[in-house]
C-alpha cells in the first residue's frame, strides 16, 4: 500500500516500532544505525540466550521490513549522506533527545529546507517542549508518568510493569498514525511537517480514561491484582484454574449484565451460588452498588465464589464451557499456548522468515491486519547492521517514489483529514478510540448507535461526579469526541434506505461488532461495496473474521489474556497481576487508525476500496513480539519478573512518603548509577559496584538502600534530587498528579469542552502534536441523537418532513 514512499528510521528501541508499522504497510524503510549498530541490538532476549551475540530478539521484534545503513552522524561524511537521503525521503523518524539533531545541523527546519515535503516524526518520553522535555527517562519512568503503573499490580506491593517494556511501544505506534495523518495532508498540500509524539501521552490511553478521575470528581482507582477497584466496586478478572489461570470478565449493565446472569446460572447449576445470587439484578448492579442498596460485601462474596468455581476446572474445560454457554471466560495464555493457538493456526497467522548468516527459519507474529486487496507482506527479515549500505547509497534519485503535489504556501492549511468521511459503527473502546483519532484531525465521523442497544462505552467508569448514567461516562465522552452522533434502529426496515445513503456518502465504514453481526444486518463488505464500490470497510473484533474462535464475543480484558500479556505482568511468586483493564483495547486503536489511513492512501492513488479484517489480539501481539520470539526461537516461556530488568539495575518502584505513593527509579548506565549513589549516600561497597553484572548480584541490597532513602522523602523531593543529576525517575502518577502535571499542561493535553447534558467537562486532547495541521478538539462524545438533524438534513439531504416521518416510524431511536 505504501510502496511509493521512503522512510528513514533514525530511531532506537524507543521508536523502531513506528518504522516497522510503516514497513509492514509497504513503505521502503531504511534503518539508519550508528557505528556499532542500534542500541536495540543489545537488549535481551537473545538467540540461544547468548548475551554477547548480535542476534537480539528484541531488535528482531521491531525491525522487520527494513534495510540497514550505518552512518556516523558525528562525522561530516555521515551528516552529508543523511542529507542526501533526506532530500529524497518522504518520512524521517527519530528518537533523539529534543534538540540533538539541531546541534548537528540536522534539525527539522534544516531538513525541510532540503525537502519541503519531508515529514519528520520525533518520538520522545514527554514531547519536544515543556518542563519535562529534557528529563532523564526510560520505559519504566514513562510508564510511571502515564498513570498506568500506579494501577497495575498487587495492592500490597509496589506497582509493576510488563516484562516486555510497553511505554515507548505506545509512543512509537501512535507516531506511525501521526506520520500517516501528516502524509495525507502532504499529498494534498505538498508540504511536510513535524509530528511530535509523547510516549507519556500515548501510554495514558491504557488508563482507560481513569486519568480523568480527579477532574471528574471520582476517587483514585486502586490497584487490584488482575482487576480494579473504584470506590466500593471491585472487579477481578484473573481467577485460578486447576492448571493455571483464566480471565473471567464479570461486570454489569446492558453489556455485561446478560453475561453475568449466564455465569451465575452455570454456577448455580453446579452448586457454587444460591438461587438468590443467580437472580440478582445484574443489569442494574452497578447502580445498586454505587447507591449502597447492595453492600460491597455481596460483590466480594460473588467474586470469591467465581474463584472457587474456576479453581475446580482446567483452562481448557472452562474455555469450552464458555463457548458452549456464551460466557466471558478465556485462558490466561502463556507464550507457548499463544504460539500453539488453534485460532491463530486456522487463520495462518504466523509468518516464517528466513534469516541469513547464519541461515535460520524464524516464526514471527503475523500481519497486524488483513487487507483484501493489498495483503501485508514480510519482505525483509531484520537486517544486519549496514547490510544494505552500498545498494541504498547507490540508489540516489533513481528509485520509483511518490511525487507530492507542488507545495501550496501562504494560506493556512486545512485540517489534515478534511474531506474524509467515516460511517462509524464502532462501540466500546478499541474501535471508537481509533476513529476518534481521525476525527481529531478533521475527518467527518458519523457515529451510529441505538438507544435499544446501549454502547458499552456509555456504561464505563469513571462517571461525571460519580453518578452513573448513559450520558455521564468519561470513556464515551472521550472516544466519541469530535464525532457526530446519530441514533438509528438498525433492525427497522425503514432504516435500510438511510443506511444506503450513509454508505454512499462515506469513504470508510468501520465496525467493532462480534464476527457475524454485520453480515446478519446485511452490512458486510459484499453489501456495502454493492452500494459504494470504492468503499473501505474495516471490521475490528477480538479474534478476527475467521477461525474457530471468530464468533467469541468479548472485551479487551479477554483479548489481553488470550494474547499472552497476563503471564508477563506481576510478581514471579504470585498470580498474574495485569496488565490493567482491557489492555488490547488500548493497543489495537493505533494499528486500526494506521490501517485505515494506509487504505485511504491506496484508494487515493488507485480508486480501489477493500475490506480490512483486524483482530485486536493479533495486532496487540506485536507489543510482546520479543517474548513470542523468545519462545519460537529459544523455546523459552517468558514469565513475569516484577520490575527487574536485564538491561538496568537498579530498576524498580520504591515507596515514597505518603499513602500508596511510589517512585520509579532506574540506572541505565554506570554513569547514572554513580550519580544515584552520590545523591542517596550508599556505602562504599555498593558505590563500588561499577558493572551491571555486579549490581544485579547485589540487587536486593541496592533496592533496600534506595527504599530507605525514598521512604522518608516526598515524590517532589525525590524527582528534584535525581533529575538534577540526570537519573531517570518519576513518581507513579495518580489522577490528581496528572491533572496538575506541568508537562501535560504545556502540551494542552486536557481541554474543557461543552457537553449538551453536563455543561463544561474536561477530556483528553490528541496524544500527538502536528506542527502545521494540529488537532482540533471542541466537543465530547455526543448525547443520544444530538446530531440526527445535521446528519440527515445537511449531510444526506433529507427534507424536514422526511426526518419527522423517520421519527414517527421509530427509526431514529
In angstroms, the CA 114 to CA 752 distance is: 39
Report the pLDDT value the prediction gives residue 234, as an integer from 0 to 100.
83
In angstroms, the CA 587 to CA 208 distance is: 11
Mean pLDDT of 757-782: 98
Residue 404 has pLDDT above 70, yes or no: no
User: Taking all residues of the chain, what is their mean pLDDT, rounded to a whole number?
Assistant: 96
| Residue with cell string 502536528 | 770
Report the pLDDT value the prediction gives residue 410, as an integer from 0 to 100.
67
CB-CB neighbours of 546 under 10 Å: 15
Report the pLDDT value the prediction gives residue 685, as an integer from 0 to 100.
87
Q: How far is CA 488 from the centre of its chain?
A: 30
Res. 398 pLDDT band, cuts 50 70 90: low
Res. 289 pLDDT band, cuts 50 70 90: confident
User: 489, 450 in Cβ contact below 8 A?
Assistant: yes
Res. 408 pLDDT band, cuts 50 70 90: low
Q: What is the DSSP secondary structure assignment for residue 166, as one 8-state letter? A: -
Res. 228 pLDDT band, cuts 50 70 90: confident
* H/E element, 606: helix 584-606
The residues, ordered by sequence, that sit 6+ positions from 30 with a Cβ below 8 Å of its Cβ are 6, 7, 8, 9, 66, 67, 68, 69, 85, 388, 392
Which tens digit of pLDDT belongs to each residue from 114-143? 999 999 999 999 999 999 999 999 999 999
The residues, ordered by sequence, that sit 6+ positions from 672 with a Cβ below 8 Å of its Cβ are 136, 666, 726, 727, 728
Residue 397 has pLDDT above 70, yes or no: no
Mean pLDDT of 10-20: 98
Residue 251 has pLDDT above 90, yes or no: no
Instruction: Give the sheet arrangement for strand 238-241, strand by strand.
Output: 238-241, 244-248, 329-331
Residue 255 has pLDDT above 90, yes or no: no
Residue 231 has pLDDT above 80, yes or no: no
3-state SS of 451-472 is: CCECCHHHHCCCEHHHCCCCCC
> Minimal CA–CA distance to 556: which of 255, 778, 223, 321?
255
In angstroms, the CA 518 to CA 515 distance is: 8
Task: Tell which wins on pLDDT, 290 or 455.
Answer: 455
Mean pLDDT of 444-452: 96
Residue 400 has pLDDT above 60, yes or no: no
Residue 321 has pLDDT above 60, yes or no: yes
For 27, counting Cβ atoms within 10 Å of its Cβ (0-12 exposed, 13-18 middle, 19+ buried), the class is: buried
* H/E element, 70: strand 66-70
| Residue with cell string 527517562 | 137
Report the pLDDT value the prediction gives residue 402, as an integer from 0 to 100.
61
Res. 229 pLDDT band, cuts 50 70 90: confident
> How far apart are the two ends of the chain, measured CA to CA in Å?
39
Which tens digit of pLDDT belongs to each residue from 784-804? 999 999 999 999 999 999 999
* Residues composing the chain: 813
Res. 779 pLDDT band, cuts 50 70 90: very high
> Minimal CA–CA distance to 234: which of 298, 181, 177, 319?
298
In angstroms, the CA 663 to CA 291 distance is: 35
Res. 401 pLDDT band, cuts 50 70 90: low
The grid coordinates listed for 309 are 468455581
Greatest alpha-carbon span in the chain: 85
Which tens digit of pLDDT belongs to each residue from 377-396? 999 999 999 999 999 999 86
Tell me the residue ranges of DSSP E strands in 466-572: 484-487, 508-511, 536-541
Report the pLDDT value the prediction gives residue 812, as an integer from 0 to 100.
96
Q: What is the DSSP secondary structure assignment for residue 381, as one 8-state letter? A: P
Residue 728 has pLDDT above 60, yes or no: yes
For 84, counting Cβ atoms within 10 Å of its Cβ (0-12 exposed, 13-18 middle, 19+ buried), the class is: middle
Report the pLDDT value the prediction gives residue 357, as an integer from 0 to 100.
77
Percentage, residues of the chain above pLDDT 90: 92
Res. 554 pLDDT band, cuts 50 70 90: confident
Lowest-pLDDT range, 60-74, 346-360, 651-665, 736-750? 346-360
Helix, strand, or coil (residue 701): helix
In angstroms, the CA 74 to CA 51 distance is: 28
User: 346, 588 in Cβ contact below 8 A?
Assistant: no
User: 488, 499 in Cβ contact below 8 A?
Assistant: yes
In angstroms, the CA 215 to CA 218 distance is: 8
The grid coordinates listed for 748 are 494542552
Mean pLDDT of 501-530: 97
Task: Tell which wins on pLDDT, 529 or 357.
Answer: 529
Report the pLDDT value the prediction gives residue 50, as an integer from 0 to 100.
76
Res. 473 pLDDT band, cuts 50 70 90: very high
Amino acid at each position: 500500500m505504501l510502496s511509493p514512499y521512503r522512510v528513514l528510521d533514525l530511531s532506537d528501541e524507543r521508536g523502531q516500532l513506528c518504522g516497522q508499522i510503516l514497513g509492514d504497510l509497504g513503505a521502503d524503510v531504511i534503518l539508519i544505525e550508528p557505528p556499532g549498530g542500534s542500541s536495540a541490538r543489545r537488549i535481551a532476549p537473545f538467540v540461544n540466550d547468548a548475551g554477547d551475540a548480535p542476534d537480539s530478539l528484541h531488535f528482531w521484534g521491531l525491525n522487520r521490513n527494513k534495510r540497514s545503513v550505518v552512518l556516523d552522524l558525528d562525522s561530516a561524511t555521515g551528516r552529508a549522506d543523511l542529507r542526501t537521503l533526506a532530500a529524497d525521503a518522504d518520512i524521517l523518524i527519530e528518537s533523539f533527545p529534543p534538540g540533538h539533531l539541531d546541534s548537528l545541523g540536522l534539525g527539522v527546519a534544516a531538513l525541510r529546507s532540503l525537502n519541503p515535503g519531508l515529514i519528520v516524526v520525533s518520538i520522545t518520553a514527554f514531547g519536544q517542549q515543556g518542563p519535562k522535555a529534557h528529563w532523564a527517562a526510560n520505559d519504566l519512568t514513562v510508564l510511571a508518568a502515564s498513570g498506568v503503573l500506579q494501577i497495575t499490580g498487587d495492592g500490597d506491593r509496589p506497582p509493576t510493569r510488563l516484562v516486555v517494556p510497553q511505554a515507548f511501544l505506545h509512543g512509537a505506534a501512535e507516531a506511525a498514525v501521526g506520520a500517516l495523518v501528516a502524509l495525507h495532508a502532504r499529498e494534498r498540500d505538498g508540504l511536510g511537517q513535524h509530528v511530535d509524539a509523547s510516549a507519556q501521552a500515548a501510554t495514558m490511553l491504557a488508563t482507560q480514561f481513569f486519568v480523568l478521575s480527579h477532574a471528574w470528581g471520582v476517587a483514585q482507582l486502586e490497584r487490584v491484582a488482575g482487576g480494579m477497584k473504584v470506590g466500593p466496586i471491585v472487579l477481578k478478572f484473573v481467577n485460578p484454574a486447576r492448571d493455571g489461570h483464566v480471565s473471567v470478565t464479570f461486570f454489569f449493565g446492558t453489556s455485561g449484565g446478560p453475561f453475568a446472569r449466564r455465569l451465575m446460572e452455570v454456577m448455580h447449576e453446579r452448586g457454587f451460588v444460591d438461587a438468590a445470587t443467580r437472580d440478582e439484578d445484574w443489569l442494574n448492579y452497578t447502580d445498586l452498588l454505587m447507591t449502597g442498596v447492595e453492600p460491597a460485601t455481596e460483590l466480594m462474596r460473588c467474586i470469591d465464589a467465581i474463584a472457587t468455581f474456576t479453581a475446580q476446572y482446567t483452562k481448557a474445560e472452562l474455555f469450552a464451557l464458555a463457548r458452549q454457554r456464551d460466557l466471558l471466560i478465556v485462558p490466561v495464555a502463556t507464550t507457548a499456548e499463544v504460539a500453539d493457538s488453534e485460532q491463530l493456526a486456522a487463520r495462518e497467522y504466523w509468518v516464517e522468515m528466513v534469516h541469513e548468516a547464519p541461515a535460520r527459519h524464524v516464526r514471527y507474529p503475523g500481519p497486524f491486519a488483513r487487507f483484501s486487496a493489498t495483503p501485508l507482506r514480510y519482505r525483509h527479515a531484520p537486517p544486519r547492521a549496514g547490510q544494505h549500505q552500498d545498494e541504498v547509497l547507490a540508489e540516489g534519485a533513481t528509485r520509483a517514489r511518490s511525487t507530492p503535489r507542488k507545495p501550496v504556501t501562504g494560506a493556512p492549511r486545512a485540517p489534515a483529514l478534511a474531506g474524509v468521511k467515516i460511517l462509524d459503527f464502532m462501540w466500546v473502546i478499541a474501535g471508537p478510540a481509533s476513529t476518534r483519532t481521525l476525527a481529531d484531525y478533521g475527518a467527518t465521523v458519523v457515529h451510529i448507535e441505538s438507544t435499544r442497544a446501549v454502547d458499552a462505552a456509555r456504561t464505563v467508569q469513571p462517571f461525571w461526579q460519580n453518578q452513573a448514567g448513559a450520558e455521564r461516562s468519561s470513556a464515551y465522552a472521550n472516544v466519541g469526541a469530535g464525532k457526530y452522533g446519530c441514533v438509528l434502529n438498525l433492525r427497522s426496515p425503514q432504516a435500510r434506505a438511510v443506511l444506503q445513503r450513509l454508505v454512499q456518502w462515506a469513504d470508510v465504514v468501520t465496525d467493532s461488532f462480534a464476527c457475524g453481526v454485520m453480515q446478519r444486518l446485511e452490512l458486510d463488505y459484499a453489501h456495502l461495496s454493492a452500494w459504494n464500490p470504492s468503499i473501505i470497510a474495516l471490521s475490528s473484533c477480538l479474534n478476527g473474521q475467521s477461525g474457530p474462535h471468530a464468533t467469541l464475543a468479548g472485551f479487551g480484558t479477554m483479548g489481553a489474556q488470550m494474547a499472552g500479556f497476563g503471564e508477563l505482568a506481576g510478581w514471579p511468586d504470585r498470580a498474574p497481576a495485569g496488565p490493567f483493564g482491557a489492555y488490547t483495547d488500548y493497543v489495537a486503536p493505533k494499528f486500526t487508525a494506521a490501517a485505515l489511513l494506509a487504505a485511504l492512501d491506496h484508494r487515493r492513488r488507485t480508486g480501489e476500496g477493500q475490506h480490512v479484517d483486524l483482530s485486536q489480539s493479533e495486532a496487540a501481539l506485536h507489543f510482546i513480539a520479543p517474548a513470542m520470539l523468545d519462545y519460537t526461537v529459544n523455546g523459552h516461556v517468558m514469565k513475569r519478573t516484577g520490575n527487574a530488568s536485564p538491561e538496568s539495575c537498579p530498576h524498580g518502584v520504591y515507596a515514597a512518603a505518603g499513602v500508596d505513593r511510589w517512585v520509579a527509579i532506574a540506572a541505565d548506565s554506570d554513569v547514572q548509577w554513580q550519580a544515584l549513589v552520590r545523591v542517596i549516600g550508599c556505602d562504599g561497597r555498593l558505590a563500588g559496584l561499577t558493572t551491571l553484572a555486579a549490581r544485579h548480584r547485589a540487587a536486593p541490597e541496592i533496592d533496600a538502600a534506595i527504599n530507605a532513602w525514598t521512604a522518608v522523602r516526598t515524590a517532589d523531593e525525590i524527582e528534584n534530587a535525581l533529575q538534577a543529576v540526570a537519573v531517570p525517575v518519576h513518581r507513579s502518577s495518580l489522577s490528581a498528579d496528572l491533572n496538575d502535571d506541568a508537562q501535560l499542561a504545556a502540551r494542552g493535553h486536557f481541554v474543557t469542552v461543552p457537553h449538551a447534558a453536563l455543561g463544561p467537562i474536561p477530556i483528553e486532547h490528541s496524544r500527538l502534536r502536528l506542527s502545521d495541521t494540529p488537532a482540533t478538539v471542541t466537543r465530547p462524545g455526543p448525547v443520544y441523537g444530538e446530531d440526527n438533524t445535521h446528519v440527515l438534513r445537511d449531510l444526506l439531504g433529507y427534507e424536514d418532513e422526511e426526518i419527522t416521518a423517520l421519527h414517527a416510524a421509530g427509526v431514529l431511536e
